[in-house]
Amino acid sequence: MSFQRKILITGGAGFIGSHVVRLFVNKYPQYLIVNLDKLTYAGNLENLKDVEHSSNYHFIKGDIVDESFVLKLFNEHRFDSVIHLAAESHVDRSIVSPTDFIFTNIVGTVNLLNAARKIWDKGNLSNNDLKSVEREKKNSVPYRFYHISTDEVYGSLNETGHFTESTPYDPRSPYSASKAAADHLVRAYAHTYKLPVVITNCSNNYGPYQFPEKLIPLAINNIKNNVPVPVYGKGENVRDWLWVEDHAAAIDLVFHEGRTGATYNIGGFNEWKNLDVIRLLCKIMDEKLGLEVGKSEQLITFVKDRAGHDMRYAIDSSKISKELGWKPSLTFEEGLSKTVDWYLANEEWLQHVTSGANHKYNQQQYHHRKQHVR
Ligand code: NAD
Ligand code: TYD
């Protein structure tokens, strides 16, 4: 079967990546979707069970840090576009072991940029490839390197203001610094080599398939198991939460309609203090588990703050709304309720991902923080 496009999605077995893969595989049977993922602790093929047998889906296990592997892959598959999500994504882990973040988030991104540049640069194409470039032009299939990034590159806000696309970069954790470096490199390749790139910077996502080390799934899992829910510092830090399927829908829109070279911020206009998020979750969990009102809140435990904890993130997403007509589809209450339902219905998934070394990592972190309570 010949496909209209051949799209490489990196990190497709992770949280957001799995939603993007599912959306593209189901919505675009005319595209071949190749999912490249190393399957780290955060990547899990169970996230994609419902699409794994689709004829327009192909999974490849591999590491974007491996330069020769990446080059070979591009040479073999001649992707016309890349949607790059693979990353080390957890701030707390970046504080404990920053080097992994430098390799995957920076070196891995550069390897992908180099490989795309190599096969898309007309100077490097054989006659046959040139014919296919002409064909692609006629069918208006543009090359596209779409880099998925975070609002954390902009730093931390006080009580007022929002991040816009022109806010200067001010990353403050090893995670956000590594993502900022990758963003700069993507823009540098666009400027220097005319690589057709697009970047989006999104706020905190939540929803099904998120590894239970991030705040919302961790709290759900802990309440479910009747163990303490750690709140860093006073719980006053603010995040702007977005339902993951709304992010995937924005990625679809930007991939197809975003201007080449542009950056778009994506956020929910949905700011919450951490403690308020946890309290709302506790209320929902009391209801869903049939517990007496206030029972789950008893699990809230204040622990030592995160080092260098960013105070507030808030995204101004008016550019993507005005230019591309994107807007979030769910309220936070609706999204959290759906998220809790999903985690309660997917006991087996939770068991699998929390078994072994990664669960131990979370427990060690908790005990360490608890000993150093403020
Ligand atoms: P995740 O940690 O759930 O998934 C990351 C995926 O990348 C995993 O499947 C993992 O196996 C894979 N991966 C890691 N290292 C790899 C390597 N060296 N080679 C190949 N694959 C590798 O992350 P997520 O939360 O789904 O985030 C996806 C992307 O979106 C990241 O780039 C992240 O920076 C960005 N982002 C995340 C959020 C959020 O709230 N989660 C918000 C904005 C942007
Ligand atoms: P997290 O989900 O790790 O996302 P990020 O650090 O990328 O924003 O954390 C969200 C917020 O919740 C952040 O302010 C840190 C805080 N937090 C806790 O209070 N307790 C926890 O156990 C975790 C994981 C996070």
Domains of the chain: 5-205+241-271+310-330+356-369 (3.40.50.720)
Ligand 1 pocket test, candidate residues 21, 73, 85, 101, most atoms within 8 A of CB:
85
Nearest atom of ligand 2 to the alpha carbon of 175: 7
H/E/C letters for each residue in the chain?
Answer: CCCCEEEEEECCCCHHHHHHHHHHHHHCCCEEEEEEECCCCCCCHHHHCCCCCCCCEEEEECCCCCHHHHHHHHHHHCCCEEEECCCCCCHHHHHHCHHHHHHHHHHHHHHHHHHHHHHHCHHHCCHHHHHHHHHHHHCCCCCEEEEEEEHHHHCCCCCCCCECCCCCCCCCCHHHHHHHHHHHHHHHHHHHHCCCEEEEEECEEECCCCCCCCHHHHHHHHHHCCCCEEEECCCCCEEEEEEHHHHHHHHHHHHHHCCCCCEEEECCCCEEEHHHHHHHHHHHHHHHHCCCCCCHHHHEEEECCCCCCCCECCECCHHHHHHHCCCCCCCHHHHHHHHHHHHHHCHHHHHHHHCCHHHHHHHHHHHHHHHCCC
The residue contributing the CA closest to ligand 2 atom 25 is 215
274 lines ligand 2 (CB under 6 A): yes
Short-list 302, 274, 175, CA closest to 215: 274
Ligand 2 contact via 237 beta carbon (within 6 Å): yes
Separation of CA 28 from chain center: 21
Distance, in Å, from the CA atom of 365 to the CA atom of 305, rounded to the nearest integer, reads: 12
Q: What is the pLDDT of residue 276?
A: 98
Nearest C-alpha to atom 7 of ligand 2 is from which residue?
Answer: 91
Please report where in the chains the tokens 């779409």 appear, as a residue. 146
How remote is the C-alpha of 265 from its chain's centroid? 14
Q: Beta strand pairing status for 271-273 and 238-243? A: antiparallel
Say which ligand is closest to the CA of 251. Answer: 1
pLDDT at 52: 97
Digitized pLDDT (tens) for each residue of the chain, 374 residues in all: 799 999 999 999 999 999 999 999 999 999 999 999 999 999 999 999 999 999 999 999 999 999 999 999 999 999 999 999 999 999 999 999 999 999 999 999 999 999 999 999 865 545 555 455 555 555 566 899 999 999 999 999 999 999 999 999 999 999 999 999 999 999 999 999 999 999 999 999 999 999 999 999 999 999 999 999 999 999 999 999 999 999 999 999 999 999 999 999 999 999 999 999 999 999 999 999 999 999 999 999 999 999 999 999 999 999 999 999 999 999 999 999 999 999 999 999 999 999 866 655 666 676 777 766 64
Rounded Cα distance, 221 and 37, in Å: 25
Ligand 2 atom 4: residue of nearest CA: 214
Beta bridge partners of 84: 10, 147
The sign of the dihedral angle between the CA atoms of 264, 267, 269, 272 is negative
Q: What is the Cα–Cα distance from 149 to 187, expressed in whole angstroms?
A: 12
User: What's residue 1's pLDDT?
Assistant: 74
- Tell me what pLDDT residue 372 has: 64
Q: Return phi, psi of residue 327, to 5°.
A: -150, 155
Nearest CA to 68 out of 13, 33, 118 is that of: 118
Residues with catalytic function: 151-152, 175
Cβ within 8 Å of residue 355, ≥6 positions away = none
Looking at residue 128, what is its pLDDT? 59
What's the rounded Cα separation, in Å, for the pair 202 and 258?
A: 15
pLDDT of residue 217: 98
- Nearest CA among 39, 46, 112, 110 for reference residue 77: 112
Check pocket membership of 211 for ligand 1, CB cut-off 6 A.
yes
- Quick check: CB of 38 below 6 Å from ligand 1? yes
From ligand 2's centre to the CA of 210, what distance in Å? 13
Query: For ligand 2, what atom is nearest to the CA of residue 277?
Result: 12
Q: Write down the pTM of the prediction.
A: 0.95
Nearest CA to ligand 2 atom 10: 215
pLDDT at 139: 54
| Cα torsion 8, 13, 14, 17: sign | positive
Phi-psi region of 294 (alpha: psi -120 to 50; beta: other; left: phi over 0): left
**Gap between the Cα atoms of 212 and 342, Å rounded:** 13
